[in-house]
Amino acid sequence: MTVQVDQLTNEKKKNEKDLEEMDKMINDLNAEVDMAQKQLDTANDDKDCNEAMKQKYQDELMSVRSELDQEKKDHAKTQLIKGKYKKDIAEITVRAETLEKNMGTNTELDEKQDKCDKLEDNMSEMKTELRQHLKTVEKHL
């Protein structure tokens, strides 16, 4: 179970790193969207701007927005996976702790059983000694 926890922890760390990279990409794409929007606004404001230039900026803006939407979808999927790993790690940790607790209880029971076995052995020895002692006493009578 420790190996599973370690594997899930490593995967979680990798996913967190991936999330950070995706966050950076989303921020970068947002910056590109802002820049493209500014360019589009500038093009719209410029009286001498021709229609082809406007279309170019609009196409660029749509492309960047599409890319951003895809990154957001990927980011959401990664967040779901991250949540699943957290849940799996928590469940495995609880099972491991329960197992460790049960192992401790079993160890205590084993120790108590060993003590009982020793007491039974001692009682047997004492009975044997008592019988021998009784035989000796009977001989002297």
Whether residue 111 has pLDDT greater than 80: yes
Mean pLDDT to the nearest integer, 114-121:
87
CATH class of this structure's domain 2-109: mainly alpha
For 79-94, write each residue's pLDDT tens digit.
888 888 888 888 888 8
Domain map (residue ranges) of the chain: 2-109
4's CB contacts (< 8 A; 6+ apart) are 92
pLDDT band (50, 70, 90) for residue 115: confident
For 20-63, write each residue's pLDDT tens digit.
888 898 899 889 888 988 888 887 776 565 777 778 888 988 99
User: In this predicted structure, what is the pLDDT of residue 46?
Assistant: 65
Q: CA 132 to CA 138: how far, in whole Å? A: 10
Burial class (CB in 10 A: 0-12, 13-18, 19+), 69: exposed
Q: CA 69 to CA 67: how far, in whole Å? A: 5
User: In this predicted structure, what is the pLDDT of residue 47?
Assistant: 59
User: In this predicted structure, what is the pLDDT of residue 70?
Assistant: 92
Of 136 and 45, more confident: 136
